[in-house]
Amino acid sequence: MSESGRATDGQPIRAGDRFLTRFGTPTTPYPRQQHERHASQWLIDNATACAQAAGDGMNASVFRNERPNKAGYLPPASVACMQLYLFCPDLHR
């Protein structure tokens, strides 16, 4: 997956897909449920897990405390931040 949230192979993202993070670890399977809140929670959980594994307590705390709105969406800046953290190879560890 790219830092923009698109699959690098150009295929649509499907339920059960796993992606390699910039840390070299795979994500959990993409959720089977179609509602946006499940995709948002998947992103939060994976960003939090990677930050914890990297010993990055500050970002782990920030990611863990993100909450989707009633419609299930995260703020665009939060999505961008978590996608960059997970998938941008140019960020320093």
48 touches 64 (CB < 8 A): yes
* pLDDT at residue 54 in the model: 94
Structure tokens at 66: 């993100």
Give the mean model confidence (pLDDT) for residues 8-34.
Answer: 92
In this prediction the pTM is 0.90
* pLDDT at residue 23 in the model: 92
pLDDT tens-place string over residues 50-68 = 999 999 999 999 999 999 9
Question: Is the C-alpha dihedral spanning 22, 26, 27, 32 positive or negative?
Answer: positive
* pLDDT higher than threshold 60 for residue 42: yes
- Domain residue extents for the chain: 1-93
Rg (CA), the chain: 12
Cβ-based neighbours of 79, under 8 Å, separated by 6 or more: 5, 40, 43
Give the mean model confidence (pLDDT) for residues 25-31.
Answer: 96
Query: CA dihedral defined by 88, 90, 92, 93, rounded to 10 degrees?
Result: 50
**Amino acid code (one letter) for 47:** A
